[in-house]
């Protein structure tokens, strides 16, 4: 870790509080130092010296800083400095906004991918980086579609249309239908159809 990041731990709580007040008005230039200060204050719970029980209340009342923004500053520092040990010059060159854009992706990536994301954030202009992330998330969302949920939604849509009822009323109608059904036969039929359904899914995965 850069030696400059060691200094905060040697500061008294009052010195940390004053430093936050000085730096917060020029956030884009000081977001690394601010994140470090806020991370240490939250970790040590030194905000209690000021009479606050929660970090959220402390930053909002003392600095007119939203707890959401304070949390993002802390997260950027914790991920890119504490965990990845990225140097201060690289972080400032990328900027807070772009770091915050890639942070969620970095957190769930393996170490090799983490370095690639930092490099991408440094190399790509903001619009291109945002577009790349948007496309990636769209692809991930498409891949996460549960075929069983799709089947359920299609079935419910068809049944509510045929019976001309709401989904809530459909449950009542199905309860009436199955009230006197032979449940052993129903269970057998469901098992057969489930095997067939899952077998078709497996074929699609192989192809």
Task: From 117, 143, 169, give the residue that closes a domain.
Answer: 143
Q: What per-residue confidence (pLDDT) applies to 43? A: 93
56 touches 38 (CB < 8 A): no
How do residues 38-79 score in pLDDT, each as one tens digit? 999 999 999 999 999 999 999 999 999 999 999 999 999 999
Same domain, 157 and 65: no
Domain that holds residue 32: 3-143
Is the pLDDT assigned to residue 4 strictly greater than 60? Answer: no
Same domain, 120 and 62: yes
How do residues 40-49 score in pLDDT, each as one tens digit? 999 999 999 9
Q: How many domains does the chain have?
A: 2
CA 44 to CA 18: how far, in whole Å? 16
Q: What per-residue confidence (pLDDT) applies to 3? A: 46
Same domain, 111 and 19: yes
Q: What per-residue confidence (pLDDT) applies to 145? A: 64
Task: From 125, 143, 161, give the residue that closes a domain.
Answer: 143
Global pTM value = 0.63
Task: From 118, 143, 168, give the residue that closes a domain.
Answer: 143
Q: What per-residue confidence (pLDDT) applies to 9? A: 75
Q: Which helix (H) or strand (E) holds 179?
A: none
Same domain, 170 and 123: no
């Amino acid at each position: 870790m850069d030696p400059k990041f060691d200094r905060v731990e040697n500061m008294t709580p009052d010195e940390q509080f004053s430093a936050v007040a000085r730096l917060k008005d020029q956030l884009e230039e000081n977001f690394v130092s601010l994140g470090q200060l806020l991370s240490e204050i939250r970790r040590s719970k030194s905000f209690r010296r000021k009479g606050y029980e929660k970090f959220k209340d402390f930053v909002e009342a003392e600095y007119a800083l939203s707890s959401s923004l304070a949390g993002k500053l802390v997260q950027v520092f914790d991920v890119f400095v504490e965990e990845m040990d990225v140097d201060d010059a690289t972080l400032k060159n990328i900027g807070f906004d772009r770091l915050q854009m890639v942070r969620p992706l970095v957190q769930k990536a393996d170490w090799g991918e983490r370095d690639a994301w930092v490099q991408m954030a440094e190399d790509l202009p903001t619009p291109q980086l945002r577009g790349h992330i948007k496309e990636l998330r769209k692809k991930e969302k498409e891949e996460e579609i549960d075929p069983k949920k799709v089947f359920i939604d299609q079935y419910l849509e068809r049944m509510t249309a045929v019976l001309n009822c709401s989904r809530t009323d459909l449950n009542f109608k199905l309860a009436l239908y199955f009230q006197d059904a032979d449940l052993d036969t129903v269970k057998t039929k469901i098992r057969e159809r489930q095997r067939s359904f899952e077998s078709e899914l497996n074929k699609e995965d192989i192809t």
